[in-house]
Amino acid sequence: MTAQRYKCIVQYDGTNYVGYQVQINGMSVQEQLQKALRKMFKGHKIMVEASGRTDSGVHALGQVIHFDCPADIEPVHLQRAMNSILPPDILIKEAERVSNDFHSRFLAKGKKYQYRVDLNRFPDPFKRLYTLHHPYRMDYGKLQRALDKLVGEHDFTSFCSTKSDKEDKVRTVYQASYELDEKSNELIFTFIGNGFLYNMVRIFVGTCLQIADGLREPEEIDRLFEVKDRNEAGPTASGQGLYLVEVYYDEQFKKALSVSSDK
């Protein structure tokens, strides 16, 4: 019998994981997903592919995965069964059948990330695993100018971890913006692009916060594009404030770009 391929949207709290991908140094989200499927299918090993990795402590609201099942199951039943086995910090939000040529990573056209910063004077104990605490006065005009400079096609070598295995560091950022949530007193960054390098969003945030704090000028962004040196950019913001919000495919991406262009 031909295996049936499924696409799922997964949410997870990354606090207790070494990241999405299976690693030898601790539990990963991928390992939990594969363990659940192995239990469902009585020891049958099923490999789960994702749209991309997330690092230790990083969360996901809309990670996309795919896998091939040895049996054809109604998606709603597959979703219910997996959620009954998975730990409470991982949820299958949606499940659907897809053709065998669908690939969660290779067919992804873009991604949306958000990064949350807690601006309160003292760190909120209930936010400490989900935001970066940054209780400093900031210049939001400078922050906006810096974010504007990140938009477009650039070589982002200065904003990429030296551990990256990608030779081509050119990517296109379609949206780099922020909003202030007055109710929670949070600064929320949003980034949409056709792809993001290792630690790229976290380095964006670390660098932009330095600019907002007055430690750098917005024009530093232009210089960083030129020097192509990770050591020249700001720090890598900690992982707990980062969320993979959505992964875009085909028409979804066109719609997302039209929305971001209106902002």
Residue 203 pLDDT exceeds 70: yes
pLDDT in tens, 17-48: 999 999 989 999 999 999 999 999 988 999 99
pLDDT at site 92? 98
pLDDT at site 1? 56
| C-alpha pair distances (Å), 65 with each of 96, 102, 191 | 11, 10, 21
If pLDDT is split at 50, 70 and 90, which confidence band does 69 have?
very high
If pLDDT is split at 50, 70 and 90, which confidence band does 261 have?
low
- Beta bridge partners, 191, equal 113, 176
- The reply to whether the predicted model has a pTM over 0.85 is yes
**Separation between Cα atoms, residue 81 and residue 76, nearest integer Å:** 9
pLDDT in tens, 45-67: 999 999 999 999 999 999 999 99
- Indicate the class that CATH gives domain 110-261: alpha beta
| C-alpha pair distances (Å), 185 with each of 9, 133, 180, 196 | 29, 11, 7, 27
For residue 189, the SS3 value is: strand
State the sign of the Cα–Cα–Cα–Cα dihedral 128, 186, 209, 179. Answer: positive
pLDDT in tens, 215-228: 999 999 999 999 99
Which residue type is seen at 258? S
Looking at 3.30.70.3040, 3.40.190.10, 3.30.710.10, 3.30.70.580, the CATH number of the domain 4-98 comes to: 3.30.70.580
For residue 50, the SS3 value is: strand
What tokens were used for 161?
């971890």
What amino acid positions are annotated as catalytic residues? Answer: 55
What residues does each domain of the chain span? 4-98, 110-261
**Separation between Cα atoms, residue 166 and residue 162, nearest integer Å:** 10
For residue 111, the SS3 value is: strand
Contact of 6 with 95, CB cutoff 8 Å: yes
pLDDT in tens, 111-156: 999 999 999 999 999 999 999 999 999 999 999 999 999 999 999 9
If pLDDT is split at 50, 70 and 90, which confidence band does 165 have?
confident
Residue 257 pLDDT exceeds 90: no
pLDDT at site 193? 96
Q: What percent of the chain has pLDDT over 70?
A: 95
For residue 155, the SS3 value is: strand
Q: What percent of the chain has pLDDT over 90?
A: 89
